[in-house]
Structure 1
């Protein structure tokens, strides 16, 4: 799944401007993740632990193929989610967001969002108001343009019905395994030892093949800098002059009204959204209330907020 997606998009991903000049450039660890993963052996059968499904590696080269490892984990997928629309060259939603809507460091977690919110965000992509510090919104802009109103409503209703289950374990660490970036996730380099984490968040899936195959039960270890969770908690609760997240996103940070849930979401994804809103890559009424909240954040603040929010049990 991500093998195909990375190969198709890596060439067009170049960091670029498009809004007010940021005082701190978009960090590579969060924005420059479209490095293709290795191709899966075409004739070898692949499976996910606990699944009865066995898939030859060559099937993952088909952009309309979704490996439904655990059908009981979600309600029946509508065609636009599980198959896409070949006549429109529209890839299935589950290719990026997974059948359960769990998403990952590369894509939004749609499970648990309201259907109205999902529809509104697709419209933001369609209008161009939702962009990114780079080309990381280009794929969704194309999908938004191709989606019919009926397909959009059906997909939104489907993902709104799915419960969000975080698969991440967040750990503070000064030293982390040396790793390479593969499609927004970090994979340890065998025998390379450790290195300082620096000003980064590293999301490390437990197995590269399972990550590339879209196994939504795959555990993910998230490494964050020491002290970032406590600092993020202070910021999220209204410290340092930042409005408390709970004021809009609910006391448990699981969403309220039109404000989306934050608890247990990918910190890489959360960081990108904070950055994009702060520097005007995301514009329009949907984020107007967030802009003054994030206006004075620095990179350390964004990392801390993302680390804390990812650590909150969803």
Structure 2
């Protein structure tokens, strides 16, 4: 899939590591004692939601579903067909390639079935819009080789990616990468600092507001939910999300991202750019799902994401606590994409 030479990601990654090393050596706190690495733990369940066993899926009674500002009408079976991406708003994006809208039966699901027609994705997976094509291609190669897995192998979204990456052809991957990289990520996440959050349940590998009015302490969690669950189930790419984060976490994350907090981490802007919108082949992280970002930080730290970018990310994540990850993700998600 990739030529046998250093990819742009590898070259820039090495430069970023060198810059980060120089910055550490030149700062006044470089001689301070290195913070101890976090103790062994388990993946935070709120970041890795798993659908409970035994849940009976609702049956299709033939009722047609609609979403605002669309003339399309689809049944529940149609919106759940993994080889047909519901295109509620065709004017929101350029024409979709066949692999993106239909996939390739029997093993390659339609890309937009999970990642939506405009590449917004959801808390359970990745937003692909605006990511560099070379980065997307490399991630598919990492899924295929087994370098990129997940801390909780039972999660269906990651299992699906690992499976379909082995069946997708190089031209299909390149076509999909070109499509998603051509899109602009839309701001669909509203980050809200709070001490209490609505009670939630796991629904489709992400959290959903129970809408009972009951509240509970947020603790050190990110609670990310769609504002309209049924529209999200219908795979409407215009759905907005609320990401509840602990009070004060955005400012804490900004300090970590911009200063490194005395060697606790590496300044994010060195590689991801001053606005965290990406730099060359390095992906932007501004305005993306904080749940997803926490999972990636955790997976990098624990070695379950070990592709080309892992060497670059290791000094960034090795001393982070889960609370630090929450803060960094809250800050990045609060920025304009």
TM-score (norm 2): 0.83
Q: How does 1:163-312 map to 2 (within 5 A)?
A: 163-240=184-261, 241=263, 242-312=265-335
Q: Which runs of 5+ in 1 are unaligned?
A: 1-20
Pick the aligned partner of 2:62 from 36, 43, 51. 43
1:104 is the counterpart of 2:122: yes
Whole-Å separation in 1 of the counterparts to 2:234 and 2:130: 23
- 8 Å CA contact retained: 1:177, 1:189: yes
In structure 1, the partner of 2:108 is 90
Q: How far 1:103 sits from its partner (Å)?
A: 1.1
Inter-CA distance 67–26: structure 2 relative to 1 (3 Å threshold): same
1:70 is the counterpart of 2:93: no
- 8 Å CA contact retained: 1:24, 1:299: no
- 8 Å CA contact retained: 1:200, 1:224: yes
In structure 2, the partner of 1:6 is none
Q: How far 1:206 sits from its partner (Å)?
A: 1.3
Q: Which runs of 5+ in 2 are unaligned?
A: 1-37
* SS of residue paired to 2:300: helix
Q: How far 1:254 sits from its partner (Å)?
A: 0.6
1:32 is the counterpart of 2:49: yes
Q: How far 1:237 sits from its partner (Å)?
A: 0.5
Q: How far 1:107 sits from its partner (Å)?
A: 1.1
* SS of residue paired to 1:237: helix
Whole-Å separation in 1 of the counterparts to 2:226 and 2:211: 14
In structure 1, the partner of 2:77 is 58
Whole-Å separation in 2 of the counterparts to 1:37 and 1:212: 15
Inter-CA distance 202–287: structure 2 relative to 1 (3 Å threshold): same
**Could you list the per-position Cα deviations for residues 210-265 of structure 1 after superposition, in whole angstroms to 9, with x for gaps in the alignment?**
11111111111110011111110000102322211000001111101221101000
* SS of residue paired to 1:123: helix
**Could you list the per-position Cα deviations for residues 257-290 of structure 1 after superposition, in whole angstroms to 9, with x for gaps in the alignment?**
2211010000000000000001111113322111
In structure 2, the partner of 1:12 is none
Q: How far 1:175 sits from its partner (Å)?
A: 0.9
- 8 Å CA contact retained: 1:102, 1:166: no
* SS of residue paired to 2:312: coil
Q: How far 1:41 sits from its partner (Å)?
A: 4.0
Bigger radius of gyration among the two: 2
